[in-house]
Structure 1
Amino acid sequence: MADRDVELLALLRDFDDPQHIERPRGYEPRLLRTRFSALVARLESDFATPCDSEQDTQDSSEYGRVHVPAEATTAGTRIVVCVSKFGDLALVCADNPGAFLGLQEAQDLGELDIADLEKVHRTLVDLGYVVVPEELLERDYEGPSALWCHRPTWWQRYFGSC
């Protein structure tokens, strides 16, 4: 396992609080809304197009999603950015979470251009998000929270629901 993955798994464990499944202690939706709005505006500017977004996801630890339309990307596949209610975590994927076995597969299949991906990553980092690879989030969940999924993953813990 790469050093970065070890660090990110440690971060995921640090955020894990069994008393707060859907949102962290001290959750401040106003602050998330402000940063999320900045994310949408920046992606719209970077890709020179309106981006659909959804926020304040109910019954989920995911705060919201931004969709960069396929027509605005070099490869012609939409890019989806998911933002968690926990720890400024963000996930970037081609088309939709789970559509590919991670960003590398999407790139290998010609569905994701590296320049587009770098543009999204730069925006997320500039806004203070921590980008977690989908491959890491698909690992089995091994934290203290009681998740009632058949096979819980870190993605379900921080971006989904069980």
Structure 2
Amino acid sequence: MAEETDIDAVLRAADRAQGPYHLQFPDGFDHHRALARVQALTERLRADFDCPCVVDTGVQDASFHATVAVPAEATAAGEQITMRLTNPGDFAVVAAEQPGCPVDPDEAEASGP
């Protein structure tokens, strides 16, 4: 029988590890802390862009807990800035559009960066 490679060992260990009881967020996820961080981010963006931001914290059954958007009118490029805050880790996806709603690729290429 062939020897087990390192990756095989890692995959077998992952199979044996107890996972979370839910798929949307990791064990130990602190929803109150996450919402406090959303509030702090929103206040900072409101001050930096001198405008109210659109905040959605009513997200369900997803790997993120909030979306915060700076309106296009408040940005120098005239494009909305959208941040989606993830459940695992303190990460964010930042886009000049609504994440998950791709624009027409030909239109995006023609408009440049």
TM over 0.5: yes
Change (3 A) 1:68 1:54: same
**Is the Cα contact below 8 Å between 2:20 and 2:26 reproduced in 1?**
no
Q: Name the amino acid aligned to 1:42.
A: R
Q: CA RMSD in A?
A: 2.0
Residue correspondences, number: 89
TM-score for both structures, normalised by structure 1: 0.50
Indicate yes or no: 2:103 matched with 1:109.
no
Q: Which amino acid aligns with 1:82?
A: R
Find 2:81's aligned residue among 79, 82, 86: 79
- Structure of higher CA gyration radius: 2
Secondary structure of the residue aligned to 2:26 is coil
* 1:23 and 2:25 are equivalent in the alignment: yes
- Displaced runs of 4 or more, over 4 A: none
Q: Normalised by the size of structure 2, how large is the TM-score? A: 0.70
Which has the bigger relative contact order, CA under 8 A and spacing at least 6? 1
Q: Percent identity?
A: 37
Q: 2:67 aligns with which of 49, 52, 65?
A: 65
Q: Deviations over 1:82-123 (max 9, x none)?
A: 0011101111001211536xxxx78x725xxxxxxxxxxxxx
Give the gaps of 5 or more residues in structure 2. 1-18
